[in-house]
Amino acid sequence: MQVNETLNDGLKRGYAITVTAAELEAKVNEKLAEAQPTVEMKGFRKGKVPMALLKKQFGQRVMGEAMQESIDGAMSEHFEKSGDRPAMQPEVKMTNEDWKEGDDVQVEMSYEALPEIPEIDMGKIKLEKLVAKADDAAIDEALANLAETAQDFKARKKGAKAKDGDQIVMNFVGKVDGEAFEGGSAEDYPLVLGSNSFIPGFEEQLVGVKAEEEKAVTVNFPDDYQAENLAGKEAVFDCTIKEVKEPVAAEINDELATKFGAEDLAALKTQIAERLEAEYAGAARAVMKRGLLDALDKMVSFDLPPSLVDAEAGQIAHQLWHEENPEVQGHDHPEIETTDEHKTLAERRVRLGLLLAEVGQKAEIEVSDAEMTQAIMNQARQYPGQERQFFEFVQKNQQMQQQMRAPIFEDKVIDHIVEKAKVTEKEITKDKLQKAVEALEDDA
């Protein structure tokens, strides 16, 4: 078997591989000899079929297998000897298309090699870790938001008109063509105006009603309404307003705390402080991660495989196009062209991706089965009632597993570098942390 280099330009590589006819024949004979003891054929005892007859019967099929195995073996041997790592699947094609049995097999292999990644001195990296504490104002704001979610309603003054957000208590009877329909009536029904819990147009007509007032509300059921006998039809609801109530935030006290699972108000404040500081820590980590990636991007420079850059630029352009055209769900749209801006961002991502992969490999960082299981379970919660199906889908889908493993691996590599870098803490306010996070989004 011969392997001759035909191209060596930057990261581009090309090789001509020749598998001789003698090598192929030897491989075929070897495979037939392995199979001979198990072959049964009429007129012969098991394992006693002559080799010439086996070759006549199975030679063509075995030849194809031998050819593929020989080419795969030549490629594996080449990568082991050269140390090259292809950036993407090598392109392989047979050049003597008029090949016939007895001829050598001529194959061309081309690929882009992954570059040599330079070593980085992680101890020279300087990072700033922002630290924000949950102060009394932030805790009080969170408490007020909780109290609002636990709001109650109290009666408005007599004669007061209902406003959006108010709760009205009413009796109503719905009729289509003058006849009451099933499920269209209720007594003492509490409805919050603006909640959109009734069909479109209903609640808006009740803004401005007063207690003890009677109001006829005319609406049209949507054409796709679930009850077919009502779909698309006009209905009149005769409503009798019994009370008009305004929203009142719950009092911030021990009783409110128990509603949210805390023993008392002090315990609830402690829980809120812990939750807020966990959120701040997550935001601060995102800011520090960006700082680390920026530092790494300036520290290293190496050739990038054009195929990886082009693929990443295309993916970026495609994602941004869909963000700008959210109404298009599928991929039935015009071809999306990549710009210099897309390519510049792609080059950064590919460079950092290769660098982090190299650091992770040298540090023997791996994603454990337990970490993968936890990630799958976290994502499965987004599909209530279908968690098991999602779990099974991911287990059978290697590409999906890789998509979920990649960010876990990246975070572990980031943590590894941060441990070795020089990190200084800087205490800041929540507002300044928020501005730092917003700056990340502006630069994205």
Phi-psi region of 87 (alpha: psi -120 to 50; beta: other; left: phi over 0): alpha
What is the reported pLDDT for 228?
Answer: 87
What is the reported pLDDT for 358?
Answer: 94
Residue 208 has pLDDT above 90, yes or no: yes
Residue 32 has pLDDT above 70, yes or no: yes
More confidently predicted of 372 and 442: 372
Residue 287 has pLDDT above 90, yes or no: yes
3 state SS of 327: coil
Q: What is the pLDDT of residues 260-282, one digit of tens each?
A: 889 999 999 999 999 999 999 99
Side chain identity at residue 27, one-letter code? K
CA distance 12 to 111: 6
Least confident of 186-190, 243-247, 291-295, 388-392: 388-392
Closest CA to 288 of 138, 118, 132: 132
CA distance 184 to 217: 13
Closest CA to 6 of 111, 116, 96: 111
Residue 151 pLDDT class (50, 70, 90 cuts): confident
Phi-psi region of 75 (alpha: psi -120 to 50; beta: other; left: phi over 0): alpha
Residue 323 has pLDDT above 90, yes or no: no
CA distance 274 to 399: 37
- Cβ–Cβ under 8 Å, residues 172 and 189: yes
- Cβ–Cβ under 8 Å, residues 73 and 88: no
What is the reported pLDDT for 333?
Answer: 78
CA distance 194 to 201: 10
The DSSP 8-state label assigned to residue 298 in this structure reads H
**What's the farthest any 2 CA atoms get from each other in the chain?**
107
- Does this model's pTM top 0.75? no
CA distance 122 to 120: 6
CA distance 233 to 339: 52
The torsion of the CA quartet 412, 414, 419, 424, rounded to 10 degrees, works out to: -140
Q: What mean pLDDT do residues 79-89 have?
A: 92
Residue 352 pLDDT class (50, 70, 90 cuts): very high
What is the reported pLDDT for 274?
Answer: 94
Residue 56 has pLDDT above 90, yes or no: no
Closest CA to 208 of 254, 160, 137: 160
Least confident of 38-42, 104-108, 204-208: 38-42
Residue 206 has pLDDT above 70, yes or no: yes
Closest CA to 311 of 282, 350, 341, 277: 350
Q: What mean pLDDT do residues 33-53 have?
A: 76
Least confident of 218-232, 335-349, 430-444: 430-444
Work out the number of other CB atoms within 10 angstroms of the CB of residue 114: 20
Alpha helices, DSSP H only, in 260-383?
A: 265-299, 306-324, 340-362, 369-380
Query: How many degrees, rounded to 5, is the angle at CA 107 between CA 106 and CA 112?
Result: 155
Token digits of residue 321: 């196009």
